[in-house]
Amino acid sequence: MATVPITARLKLFYFSHLSKPATDRTIYRAIGRYRVRKILELGIGVGQRAVRMIRVAGLLNPIRQVHFVGMDLFESGPGASGPSIPLKAAYRLLHGTGARVQLVPGDPIDSLAQTANALRQVDLLIFTSRLDPTRLDRAWFYVPRLLHEQSQVYVENRLPDGGISLKRVAPQEIRNLAAVAACARRRAA
């Protein structure tokens, strides 16, 4: 394992312990701990956290090895909660980091269902609070095929006071949620 230069360690410390919003620090620590290279974010909003995640991953890996996949309604979403960025602007913003960027426009849950078999070996998966919580259960059916043994999965939840909480989803919980989603699919068929 290559040593990380002191400037990169200082930047990693800043992102992991001092950056705002504080909820995102958990994600940056996970990127540092697991040397994340492939990130999938469902609901990228205005893209600022995506840029920071790519930068943090680029501190530990060659930037061309960092792969970011973002699924969002972008500007077309009447159902989008919160501000969003147009697709072209998001591509310019994220491509400017030097990482490999793949943006999938459309409803993130539907996009995940359509691309899950092609998106293998995701190191970090984030379900943002921008997603429709009533449809989130459907997504768990596809999640296990995206992951490997060290993958980290986080779900954001909007709190009653307007804040955001972030929860890591353990592998056993992912398997349980996927099994429930599979049963629901069979009943619907």
Q: Which residue ranges make up each domain of the chain?
A: 20-188
Low-confidence ranges of the chain (pLDDT < 50): none
Q: For position 14, what pLDDT does the model report?
A: 97
- pLDDT value of residue 184: 85
**Helix or strand (DSSP H, E) at 118:** none
| Secondary element (H or E) of residue 141 | none
CA angle 90, 134, 124 (to 5 degrees): 45
Quote the pTM value. Answer: 0.93
pLDDT reported for residue 109: 95
3-state secondary structure of 188: helix
User: Residue 166 carries which DSSP code?
Assistant: E
Residue 186 pLDDT:
80
- Record: fold of 20-188: Rossmann fold (3.40.50)
Model pLDDT, residue 139: 94
Distance of alpha carbon 40 from alpha carbon 19, whole angstroms: 21
**Cα–Cα distance for residue pair 132/77, rounded to 1 Å:** 12
What pLDDT is recorded for position 82? 66
